[in-house]
């Protein structure tokens, strides 16, 4: 019996990675660093989950010896820029997400989040896209709440613990191979909606791979709490 849905955030609830990429580049520029990540470069760099870890791997790769403290500060600057763009409405929920969340709630399903990003970035996105309706998520486990990021299963295992449900009563939603691996290793069945930056990944263990969770152009439904289309 299906009792809860657990959602990844970046790439799944919304196409956020382009805004993350632009924010990384703006942070590099503001710090006077000569780096600019192209779309193709960022595609590869996403193999490292976690923005700070991604920066550190990139710096190591180009022989840049910027200190971990300086990398952490750069990442904070990047997140300030990202949050501003999100608050400014630069990111929208992916097709079908708003309707799925509402219909799941109406059907008595519980909703949770399992993400690599920070709580601050998560809340910025949820506030901007669904206002107070983000309270429909009963459980939110972020990258700050785990010792090891995806593809490790920790974030999904924590979400299951907080829901108090076994994996067989839940369904995960992901957009990346690392996310799918994380959910699968937590024992979850997973629906994958590949995103702009992950559509070249392999999704072998997925229960289902679909291009989106709704029909493009389907009319948004207005509901209590103001969930945006």
For ligand XBP, the nearest residue by Cβ is: 51
Tally the residues of the chain.
229
Pick the binder of ligand XBP from 4, 6, 27, 49 (CB under 6 A). 49
- The minimum distance between CB 107 and ligand XBP, in angstroms, equals 25
Q: Which does 51 bind (CB under 5 to 8 A by kind): ligand XBP, Mg ion, none?
A: ligand XBP
String marking each residue 88-127 x if it binds ligand XBP according to CB under 6 A: ---------------------------xxxx--x------
Residue from 17, 58, 139, 172 touching ligand XBP (CB under 6 A): that is 17
Answer whether 36's CB lies under 8 Å from 58's CB. Answer: no
176 binding ligand XBP? (CB under 6 A): yes
**Helix-then-strand count for the chain, H and E:** 8, 6
Is 35 or 179 the residue whose CB approaches Mg ion more closely? 179
The one among 4, 5, 10, 14 contacting ligand XBP by CB under 6 A: 10
Q: Is 8 tagged catalytic?
A: yes
Stated as kind and residue range, the H or E segment containing 81 is: helix 68-87
Which strands make up the sheet holding 170-174, listed edge to edge? 137-141, 110-114, 4-7, 170-174, 189-192, 208-209
Q: Tell me the HSE value of 22 on the side-chain side, using a 13 A CA sphere.
A: 13
- Burial environment of residue 221 by CB neighbours within 10 A (0 to 12, 13 to 18, 19 or more): exposed
Place of tokens 């550190």: 56
How far apart (Å, rounded) are the C-alpha atoms in residues 188 and 226? 30
Least Å distance, CB 55 to ligand XBP, is 8
| Catalytic (active site) residue 10 | yes
What are the residues binding ligand XBP (CB under 6 A)?
Answer: 8-11, 17, 20, 49-51, 79, 115-118, 121, 143, 150, 176, 178-179
Question: Mind telling me the catalytic residues?
Answer: 8, 10
């Amino acid at each position: 019996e299906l009792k809860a849905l657990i959602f990844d955030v970046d790439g799944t609830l919304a196409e956020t990675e382009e805004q993350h990429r632009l924010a990384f580049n703006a942070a590099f520029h503001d710090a006077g660093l000569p780096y600019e990540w192209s779309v193709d470069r960022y595609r590869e760099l996403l193999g490292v989950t976690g923005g700070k870890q991604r920066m550190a791997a990139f710096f190591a790769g180009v022989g840049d010896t910027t200190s971990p403290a300086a990398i952490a500060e750069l990442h904070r600057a990047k997140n300030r820029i990202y949050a501003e763009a999100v608050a400014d409405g630069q990111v929208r929920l992916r097709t079908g997400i708003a309707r799925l969340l509402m219909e799941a709630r109406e059907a008595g399903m519980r909703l949770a989040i399992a993400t690599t990003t920070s709580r601050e970035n998560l809340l910025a996105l949820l506030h901007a896209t669904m206002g107070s309706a983000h309270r429909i998520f009963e459980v939110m486990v972020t990258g700050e709440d785990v010792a090891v990021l995806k593809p490790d299963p920790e974030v999904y295992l924590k979400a299951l613990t907080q829901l108090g449900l076994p994996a067989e009563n839940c369904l995960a939603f992901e957009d990346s191979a690392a996310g799918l691996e994380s959910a699968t290793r937590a024992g979850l069945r997973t629906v994958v909606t590949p995103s702009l930056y992950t559509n070249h990944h392999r999704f072998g263990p997925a229960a289902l791979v679909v291009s989106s969770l709704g029909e493009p152009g389907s009319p948004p439904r207005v509901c209590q709490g103001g969930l945006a289309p």
